[in-house]
Amino acid sequence: MPRLNAARKHTIDFTLNGKAVSAEAENRMLLSDLLRHEIGLTGTHVGCEHGVCGACTVQIDGKPARACLTLAQQVRGSDVRTVEALAPDPAVLSPLQAAFRRHHGLQCGFCTPGILMSLDALLREQPDAGREDIREHLSGHLCRCTGYATIVEAALAAAEEQRKEETPNA
Half-sphere exposure in the Cβ direction for 151 (13 Å, CA): 29
> Taken in order 124, 125, 127, 131, is the CA torsion positive or negative?
negative
DSSP 143: -
Q: Which is nearer to ligand FES, 86 or 143 (CB)?
A: 143
Strands, DSSP E only, in 34-146?
Answer: 57-60, 63-66, 79-81
Q: How far is the CB of 32 from ligand FES (least distance, A)?
A: 7
- 113 makes contact with ligand FES (CB under 6 A): no
| Least gap, CB of 141 to ligand FES (angstroms) | 8
Region 41-100 residues binding ligand FES, contact defined as CB under 6 A: 46-49, 51-56, 66, 68
Task: Please name every residue paired with 79 in a beta bridge, in sequence order, or none if there are none.
Answer: 15
Tell me which H or E stretch contains 23: strand 19-26
Nearer to ligand FES by C-beta: 12 or 46?
46
Q: Which of 28, 101, 135, 144 binds ligand FES (CB under 6 A)?
A: 144
Are 57 and 65 contacting, i.e. CB atoms less than 8 angstroms apart?
yes
Q: Closest separation between CB of residue 67 and ligand FES, Å?
A: 6
The residue among 43 and 47 lying less far from ligand FES, judged by its C-beta, is: 47
Q: Where does this chain bind ligand FES (CB under 6 A)?
A: 46-49, 51-56, 66, 68, 106-112, 143-146
